[in-house]
Structure 1
Amino acid sequence: MTFARRFTLYAFSLTGILHFVTPKPFEAIVPDYLPAHRELVYASGATELAGALMSAHPRTRRAGGWLLLATLVGVYPANIHMAMHPEAFPQVPGGRATLIARLPLQFAFAFLVWKATLSREAQAR
């Protein structure tokens, strides 16, 4: 199993589960202008978990990759919100610098998802 596939399976499975086990930290990063914070956290957790599990099987890998990429796009506003309001997240080590550094990191995650699920290499296995 490639690094990209392991990362996609394990990281998104763990994060998806954490959305249900400890939803409060995820609720805190949902921008205020969005309604139903708890429901959005559960929805994003479910899509992360489903996408991760789908990425593990060749028949569902492509659909799982698209689901994870859509989820990364969908939660990106929360990352922007955090970077724009670092004072609301004093528990984050490194403060504003860390929150800003997370923004391009999401693109690295998207690349790993693509490599694990949508690339020619991923489809061949």
Structure 2
Amino acid sequence: MERKPDRMTAMKQLLEQVKTSLPLDQPGIFSCGPSNNCVGCPKKLLDLVDAEVSYWDAAVAQGVIPSFGDISRFGKLCHNVSRGLKRNNIQTLGPVDLSRLFLQRIVGHYSHLQLRGRDFEV
């Protein structure tokens, strides 16, 4: 049976997935024009994700262990930004996976946890 990753490893995996999936380092993609036909601002969305990625890269490098809520919120943010980019016809390299199965894979060795005041059974 495969061993489940700990929280630090899970956050590192999520960071790598985000870096490869979202076009964070391609600033020329986004230019607002006079037509303003954007649904949300893709540049601002990616700036938000880039700030979170930078924060968690630094935190993980310093040995800060993220909580399950931190992993969940970061993954949900990235998933929603990915959806926003798709609404603006901007291709991502792959989906940012924050499904229930992904959370179960991360925290599967725990029998019960609580996220945002709701019980979460694994």
More strand by share: 2
More helix by share: 1
TM-score (norm: length of structure 1): 0.46
TM-score (norm: length of structure 2): 0.47
Higher relative contact order (CA 8 A, sep 6+): 2
